[in-house]
Amino acid sequence: MSSLLQYSLYDAFSSQKYGGSQAAIVLNAKSLDQPTRVAIANELGYPATVYVSDISGNTISVQFYSTVAELPMCGHGTVALISCLADRELIDCSCGGSLDLTLLLPNGDTKVSALKTSDKHTLAMLEVKVADFRNDAINTESLCNALGLKPESFATHLPIETAVADFTHLIVPVRGIADVKLLQPSFADIVTFHKDYGIETITVVSTETSSTTAAVRIRDFCPAVGVAESAAAGTTNAAVAGYLFRHKLIEAGADDVIELIAEQGIEINRPSEIHSRLHISANRIETQWVGGVASKVASGNLE
């Protein structure tokens, strides 16, 4: 006899369908072996497939896969997961405050908070590693060729830096939105660049934004982890928030907390809104959170 697995498809970091970054959530996945998880992730073809092995109280055992590899962490996959569990009433976010959850991952535990918003979405915020930064000797001519970027597009007052946390991101600041829009990436060259410099994403950022609520505009190229261009990425946004704080482009208030919003995915017609929260102590990031809401697109059963 065949067995059925429940699954749901969500658009993470978007309050509307068909925006944000796509993730599939597969429930009751404890019995699935590695080859089957890889096969399902490839069959669905989403940037992330989330396998839920167990839910025990407020603790969730989970693994994330792209179409090319298992991922140590996935921000948009987590945002989609929490919305799915809340929609299916497998977790209860109706208490009026935030619900504290723990994700059990192969490489350790991650804290997540879930909160019902006024428009009935579930805002999920996950604690992420605070990035370390390094200055790599980047060949900017190769970088320009990979991104289809003109040398004069680089922001002269900010450095190109590598951020290292769950993933390794090359953060490339540009002058403004016009430079972000005009990128013409060569994904074959980007893959080569990733290998040459030991990075997993190239993240182009502009502090000029379209939305009055956003602090930064982002484009994130990550074919090394299975997505040509990400519509929204929590781990990337956490690294960018750390970069902005590091270069004094954002500051903490009296409560030593920084809240900011990033816009992403606009150029690929999947507009996204990503929330970051930084807790500051002694002028350093003590803890860091990233998250957003998600919208359900479809659900059904896998044979």
Give the pLDDT confidence of 63-88 residue by residue, as tens digits: 999 998 899 889 999 999 999 999 99
User: What's the token pair of residue 169?
Assistant: 């991101």
Give the class (CATH, top level) of 132-291: alpha beta
Structure tokens at 161: 């830096």
Determine the pLDDT at residue 147.
98
CATH 3.10.310.10 domain range(s) in the chain: 5-127+293-302, 132-291
Give the residue from 174, 150, 172, 175 showing the smallest Cα distance to 161: 172
pLDDT digits (tens, 9 = 90+) for 242-259: 999 999 999 998 899 999
**Which CATH number describes the domain made up of 5-127+293-302?**
3.10.310.10
pLDDT at 2: 53
pLDDT (0 to 100) of residue 119: 84
Helix, strand, or coil (residue 149) = coil
For residue 96, CA distances in Å to 55, 80, 85, 155, 198 come to 22, 20, 17, 44, 44
Residue 5, beta-bridge partner list:
302
- Predicted confidence at residue 93, as pLDDT, reads 84
What pLDDT does 7 receive? Answer: 95
Burial of 245 (0-12, 13-18, 19+ CB in 10 A): buried
> Is the Cβ–Cβ distance between 190 and 146 less than 8 Å?
yes
- pTM for this entry: 0.91
Residues of the chain with pLDDT below 70 are 1-2
pLDDT recorded at residue 1: 39
Q: What residues pair up with 102 in beta bridges, in sequence order?
A: 59, 111
Residue 192: per-residue pLDDT? 95
